[in-house]
Amino acid sequence: MPIKILEKLKIPLLEVELPSVELPDFPPKPMPKLDDRQREVLRYALMDDLADVVPFAGDVASDVAYAELKRLMKPEEYERFVKENKWLPSVLAALKVFAE
């Protein structure tokens, strides 16, 4: 059942009717079942994200983590991961790839 937002707005001396805005029901997707390889990918993705906090050593750690991500992921997964990682953090990009 859609959620209706601001059907009528009552202001003293005025009654304003706004167009009905409805949000669709979208239950959250269940968390995908992850195997050991996918969990390992998520560990390295988290390492990649957290390495950005540390100035110089973080760059090295991030490069190592990214190389491991490339090694652990299947080629088609890695292509989608790189595409999603342009605007999402590594962990979320990996989760999005595994959820599809």
pLDDT digits (tens, 9 = 90+) for 10-63: 666 666 666 665 655 666 667 778 889 999 999 999 999 988 888 888 889 989
Q: How far, in Å, CA of 100 to CA of 29, rounded?
A: 11
Burial of 96 (0-12, 13-18, 19+ CB in 10 A): middle
Instruction: Please check whether residue 7 lies inside any domain of the structure.
Output: no
The count of domains in the chain is 1
Instruction: Please check whether residue 46 lies inside any domain of the structure.
Output: yes
Instruction: Please check whether residue 48 lies inside any domain of the structure.
Output: yes
What confidence category does residue 72 fall into, taking pLDDT thresholds of 50, 70 and 90?
Answer: very high
What is the dihedral sign for C-alpha 31, 35, 40, 45? negative
**Which residue segment(s) compose the domain that 91 sits in?**
36-99
Backbone dihedral angles phi then psi of residue 48, each to the nearest 5 degrees: -65, -45
Q: Comparing 71 with 33, which gets the higher pLDDT?
A: 71
Instruction: Please check whether residue 42 lies inside any domain of the structure.
Output: yes
Instruction: Please check whether residue 11 lies inside any domain of the structure.
Output: no
Average pLDDT on 68-96 reads: 91
